[in-house]
Amino acid sequence: MLPLQDIRIVSLEQYGAGPFGSLHLAELGAEIIKIEDPSVGGDIGRQVPPYVEGEDSLFFESFNRNKSSISLDIGTPEGRAVFEDLVRNADAVYSNLRGDVPEKLGIRYEDLKHLNPAIVCCSLSGFGMTGPRVKEPGYDYILQGLAGWMSVTGDPGGAPEKTGLSLVDYSGGLVAATALISGIHAARRDGIGLDCDVSLYDTAISMLTYLATWHLTAGHEPRRTARSAHPSLVPFQTFPAKDGWLVVGCAKEKFWHRLAGIIGRPELTEDPRFRTFADRARHHDELEAILDAELGLRTVEEWLGEMRAASIPCSPINSIPQALADEQTVAREMVVSTEHPVFGTVRQVASPVRVGPVRAEPRRAPERGQHTDEVLRDLLGYSGERIADIRAAGAFGTP
């Protein structure tokens, strides 16, 4: 059995952050039942361009493997009744909606505990369910600006920049997944459920980590560094070689000594300007000029060969196609394939979460409402006649 095969989560999720979090739980065996609102065409991720066909997209496929979908309007009496029956048979209700919406929809623990005293209600929102911004929508780009990330990203003097990936969204999803598993564990231990109030804002602020500690404790003013240089570990940045760029990271003094030897300049380690991290940070520009001149004499591959042999942290600046084709990516089986009736073979990245020897077989993302009848019949025990009545009432969308 997969590690989470005995867990069932009813999810009102959409777009990227929420589905990204539950994706990893699904790949660990958890049953994720997506409730998709038929009045808006389901998860908005189905409509994200450029690769869109009908009610599906490659964006949606990326976040929703190994899940089930039911098309259900919980705003209708019939739809709410179905939702409440699902709550009775689930471990958790998971959503990623605006912070004030869980109360409006009645999906908090206070609203559902009479149905299932052990239910865990996890909300992942932009700003959480408390505070002055509770009613504001929160998106990755907005949070990167608000939480200070963009102030330290990009070259000094240039425009503020966001990260190339939606790291607040993805990190928030992982925090929500951690909260879900923790909440379910506590509910099974104590017999009492609870609310998990997770926000993208909190996630983004928490990831300031040591920069926040430096500022709050010592008054340090974080700033952008040229060529993505580490703020205190020197040398640790990008360098130009003869035919391209590479990253060299001397995170320990021993790596600096090895690097100096490899470039034929062992005397640099005894130079008073470069003996310690603090010395090298004070004389960063001088050291950078020396290393640029030396590393520019040979190709990226030549330097990587020598540095890897000496166990110095280093890498090329891969493109995404190069990263996906890297031998380590292949060896770790980080690309999986599913078959799609329109897109054909969909190749995408696997979850990095590995627990035990067994991995879930990849199953393509569901069509909207694909499992409605199956879930209501097999899980809730509804008769065909009752399902037909609910459908006629419009709870599954316009008849």
Active-site positions read 169
Q: In sequence order, what are the beta bridge partners of 93?
A: 10, 121
Give me the residues paired with residue 9 across strands.
32, 92
Please tell me what DSSP assigns to residue 376.
I
Kindly give the interhelix angle for 384-392 and 77-88, rounded to the nearest 10 degrees. Answer: 140
Encode 203-238: b = buried (16+ Cβ within 10 Å), e = exposed: bbbebbeebeebeeeeeeeeebbeeebebebbbbbe
Residues 154 and 161: beta-carbon distance below 8 Å = yes
Quote the DSSP letter at residue 375.
Answer: I
290: Cα within 13 Å, side-chain hemisphere: 20
- Taking the C-alpha atoms of residue 79 and residue 73, their distance in angstroms, rounded to an integer, is 5
Distance in angstroms between the alpha carbons of the first and the last residue of the chain: 39
* Residues 347 and 337 sit within 8 Å (Cβ to Cβ): yes
Please name the residues in contact with 116: beta carbons below 8 A apart, sequence gap of 6 or more. Answer: 87, 88, 90, 193
CA dihedral defined by 141, 142, 148, 150, rounded to 10 degrees? 40
Residues in contact with 305: Cβ distance below 8 Å, sequence separation at least 6, in sequence order: none
Q: Is the peptide bond before 137 cis (omega within 30 degrees of 0)?
A: no
For 290, other C-beta atoms within 10 Å of its C-beta total 18
Tell me which H or E stretch contains 190: helix 167-190
